[in-house]
Chain A
């Protein structure tokens, strides 16, 4: 009797399922959310219209006012109120899933998609606030850099110019000071306004005279991961999705805008009970043959620049075109 011989290995008997899922999903990219945390948060009630009004009384005149003893009263003053209005708008995103995905995808797709929609909510809100800053704020071209472009790359003089504008307009700083500690290579950080810029500017920020990188702060406690450095009276936060317009500088390079502001410069208004709605529509609702289900996310937001005096910013290019 002859016996069949040979060793059975993966060379002559391939695995039935030549792949397996790792124990966990890889990270879904999410950009730094920098455009919302520095603005005032207001809330809109239901049933009272789509537009929210924020009002401010302008300060009274300090001219005159002395009583001269004659019994004649100083003139009275009519207060001036400035109204800032913002219209509520709704944004939504949905994912429609066929039942075959759910039947044959052995992992929990609905859970994963819900998490994706949650990420979309925060990212979309951040971009909407970015658009507000890029549309409705006055920016000044940097001129102190040496790249010969218009606007130039960022310089200390340009940053100080914005500080002058904000201080001249009586803006209040956003962040409290970080007291110096007895640690090598660290320094105290003054109370500061905030500045929001593109990650493409990180190498230029490092070269600005007097820059204090985040690692040189006296403490890392409570410092946001999006923060990059401190220059003069500004603490810079970076995001890959910060505002930019390609190809419009004097030399045809990308122009980046850096909003720089203090307290109560801008506002985000949330609609009560509509700040983050995530829902599920079952197959028998979405599809006539019950094959597609739907996940959705939606939110309402209104946004406004509440005080132009307390926000300014810079148009910049990079030292080397990017």
Chain B
């Protein structure tokens, strides 16, 4: 039996293209991406208009077949994503967790936000884990969402002036979210304010009305936020959110200042400060007519990641395409198994 088209999906890249994660409900033996936007253009720099991936171990991670238009024409060249000039290709992920190969970086600035220098092929919005951060060990093992990504580095919008700079570090790209949501996040900052503002290292999925619990080691200060120090042990409630921060209904003005511990305290200092979901406290006031929101998509515990999935990195020469591109993906399955394996994948 030939390949059977199992599923077909489409997505529109936002203005700043991001890595796309395509769930494969029945697995995948053959995957095709077609960039409808670039198919209709003839750009001077050439673009990927179609990508193909075969299962069964025929391609390494981050590879596949790359169909590119010749500069300023509709002539087609076909090679691998790994061919010079290399670009990001397909990665099929059937399990969790799946940290990708480690990269060695040179510096992370002690700035707001922190900027990491490392030769990479990552995309906007990717999740990474940084470890062995020499001079900034207080973040070693912490997960981050990256932004302003270039081939030489990226920005950590969830890390503001951690106290010292790193002179070397190692980084791995990991899955976009945890298998179950809402998930736990690592805290990098909490303000002293009438309603404390918490900064986490990743773009979070918390919503207004959600309750949270804090786990803050003494080495980070502000232990008053730990549940057993809160009046009646009531969980704080989120009152406002941004991508990396959320505001809680707790007056932290008089609390001990929060600060990540010094790098020199590693590995003996207790790490990390974390925040975990603790239900929600949505309400409706019939007098004022004010509804404190409830989000059926975010608040209930649910699967966060459909496994297996295919990673389509963003980029002019990658299957995820660039900003504003409309892309269609076809997911095929072969019932007899893959081309070089008799066992169905």
Contacts and interface: CB of A to CB of B under 8 A. Distances in A.
A261 to B, nearest CB: 12
A248 B128 CA distance: 10
Contact of A61 (B99, B232, B270, B271): B232
A193 B302 CA distance: 26
A41 interface: no
Contacts of B232: 58-61, 80
Contact of B183 (A60, A135, A252): A135
Interface in A138-164: 138-141, 143, 148-152, 161
Interface in B173-196: 174, 178-184
B281 A83 contact: yes
Contacts of B174: 245
Given A138-B213, A152-B267, A309-B227, 17 more contacts: A61-B231, A82-B281, A83-B280, A132-B180, A136-B180, A137-B276, A140-B271, A141-B271, A143-B267, A143-B268, A150-B267, A169-B228, A245-B129, A247-B102, A252-B131, A252-B170, A308-B278
A127 B303 CA distance: 12
A298 to B, nearest CB: 14
A101 interface: no
B339 interface: no
23 contacts: A59-B233, A80-B281, A84-B301, A85-B299, A134-B178, A135-B179, A135-B304, A138-B275, A141-B267, A143-B267, A143-B269, A143-B271, A150-B137, A150-B267, A151-B267, A246-B99, A247-B102, A248-B172, A250-B137, A252-B102, A252-B170, A305-B278, A308-B235
Contact of B301 (A86, A150, A165, A248): A86
Question: Chain A interface residue count: which class?
Answer: 35 or more
A136 B140 contact: no
Contact of B141 (A80, A87, A250, A305): A250
Contacts of A131: 96, 178-180
A308 B280 contact: no
Interface residues of B, number: 55
A303 B281 contact: no
A84 B279 contact: yes
A51 interface: yes
A305 B132 contact: no
Contact of A255 (B141, B231, B268): B141
Contacts of B97: 245-246
Contacts of A134: 178-180
A135 B181 contact: yes
A121 interface: no
A18 B269 CA distance: 66
Nearest to B101: A247
B178 A250 contact: no
A144 to B, nearest CB: 9
Contacts of A96: 335
B140 A168 contact: no
Nearest to A303: B301
B296 interface: yes
A309 B302 contact: no
Given A131-B179, A250-B140, A252-B131, A138 B267 contact: no
Interface in A244-280: 245-252, 255
B281 A136 contact: no
Contacts of B304: 135
Contact of A247 (B172, B233, B267, B276): B172
Given A138-B276, A143-B268, A249-B131, A309 B233 contact: yes
Contacts of A247: 99, 102, 172
A148 B233 contact: no
Interface string A53-68: 0001011110000000
A99 interface: no
Contacts of B266: 150, 250
Interface string B244-279: 000000000000000000000011111110111111
A305 B211 CA distance: 12
Name the residue among A56, A138, A309 with the largest chain B CB count within 10 angstroms.
A138
A246 B96 CA distance: 11
Nearest to A144: B268
Nearest to B234: A58
Nearest to B266: A150
Contacts of B282: 83
Name the residue among B102, B180, B301 with the largest chain A CB count within 10 angstroms.
B301
B179 A168 contact: no
A249 B300 contact: no
A141 B129 CA distance: 15
B342 to A, nearest CB: 13
A159 to B, nearest CB: 14
Interface string A114-144: 0000000000000000011011111111010
A45 interface: no
A184 to B, nearest CB: 39
B308 interface: no
Given A136-B183, A169-B233, A249 B141 contact: yes
A152 B303 CA distance: 30
B150 interface: no
A160 to B, nearest CB: 13
A162 to B, nearest CB: 11
A316 B258 CA distance: 25
B230 to A, nearest CB: 10
